[in-house]
Amino acid sequence: MAEPFLIGEAMTGGYGPVDILHACTIAVEKGQIAVIVGPNGAGKSTAMKAVFGMLRLRGGHVKLAGEDITALSPQARVAKGMAFVPQTHNIFTSMTVEENLEMGAFLRRDDIQGTMEQVYDLFPILKQKRYQAAGELSGGQRQQVAVGRALMTQPKVLMLDEPTAGVSPIVMDELFDRIIEVARTGISILMVEQNARQALDIADKGYVLVQGANRFTDTGQALLADPEVRRSFLGG
Ligand SMILES: Nc1ncnc2c1ncn2[C@@H]1O[C@H](COP(=O)(O)OP(=O)(O)OP(=O)(O)O)[C@@H](O)[C@H]1O
Ligand SMILES: [Mg+2]
């Protein structure tokens, strides 16, 4: 089988001498949605940071479109087509919505207007609030700013760490719909989600991480149907 578009393979590493990830593997195919779930502290965010180059790996490697990018800085990965929305502090609260989007495009030298219109088409509320400070927006709207900012780099892979954290079920459904829309344009989505059931339902591929290691890996639907996954991670 051909190699996935983006893969963090057998990643081992942590923040100091202690390893958090133990030969952890995470991957996503072109235009597909891969979801990482697991208990608090399982290492989901750490795995995302490792894939994005924010963690020095003691073992394993990261490959994008067949190229080994393990040694690249996060900024160099952005230049290669990766975008990452971290779990916290993912917008500039004192800047306006539009300034946040402009910041997202800082690496670009071409005209960003078309991309900005695409982001506004995807999230119409952001156009309405474009001159408002991002910090004044609701939780769901802030997450839209964060995703929109990431899209401004015209990424091939969009990495999202808990994009629906703290939003209502209705807003979550809407955000998932937008994420599906983004994937349909050919952008790969790699995301961590606390709302495991709903996220696995839209996932082509799902990863259950426990203590920094892969516990279950399958299609989203297969994981949802697995009695052991249901009992241990989805509340029955
Ligand atoms: N910057 C850091 N320095 C040292 N240890 C850290 C750091 N960030 C996380 N850890 C530790 O790494 C482990 C995994 O944390 P991580 O944030 O990756 O988990 P998570 O699965 O994303 O959890 P959550 O669901 O709460 O977001 C935890 O034991 C945590 O205490
Ligand atoms: Mg986390």
Give tens-digit pLDDT for 212-233.
999 999 999 999 999 999 999 9
Q: Which pLDDT band holds residue 3 (cuts at 50, 70, 90)? A: confident
pTM for the whole structure? 0.96
pLDDT of residue 108: 84
Residue 207 lies in a domain: yes
How far apart CA 226 and CA 211 sit, in angstroms, is: 20
Pairing type for strands 188-192 and 157-161 reads parallel
- pLDDT over 70, % of the chain: 100
Q: Is the pLDDT of residue 236 over 90?
A: no
Number of domains within the chain: 1
**CATH number of the domain residue 57 falls in:** 3.40.50.300
CA of 73 to the centre of ligand 1 (A): 21
Torsion, Cα of 77, 19, 9, 198 (10° steps): -80
Contact residues for 153 (Cβ-Cβ < 8 A; gap 6+): 78, 81, 83, 104, 105, 107, 108
Does 66 contact ligand 1 (Cβ within 6 A)?
no
| 52: in domain | yes
Whether 160 is covered by a domain: the verdict is no
181 within some domain? no
The answer as to whether 200 is a domain residue is: yes
Rounded distance between C-alpha atoms, residue 132 and residue 101, angstroms: 12
Assigned token pair, 73: 């800085």
pLDDT tens digits for range 17-75: 999 999 999 999 999 999 999 999 999 999 999 999 999 999 999 999 999 999 999 99
For 142, what's the count of Cα atoms within 13 Å in the CB-facing half-sphere?
A: 22
- Ligand 1 pocket member 212 (CB < 6 A): no
131 token code pair: 């001159």
- Does some domain include residue 49? yes
Would the CB of 46 count as within 6 Å of ligand 1?
A: yes
CA atoms of 72 and 37, how far apart (whole Å): 26
**Neighbouring C-beta atoms of residue 43, cutoff 10 Å:** 24
Residue 143 inside a domain? The answer is no
Residue position matching structure tokens 């015209």 = 154
What is the β-pairing status of strands 19-28 and 188-192? unpaired
The type of residue at 178 is R
Domain region containing 17: 1-72+193-236
- Please give the sequence-ordered ranges of beta strands (E in DSSP) within 93-195, or none if there are none: 157-161, 188-192
Residue 107: the pLDDT is 83
Residue 50 CA to ligand 1 centre (angstroms): 12
pLDDT of residue 185: 96
Q: Is 206 contained in some domain? A: yes
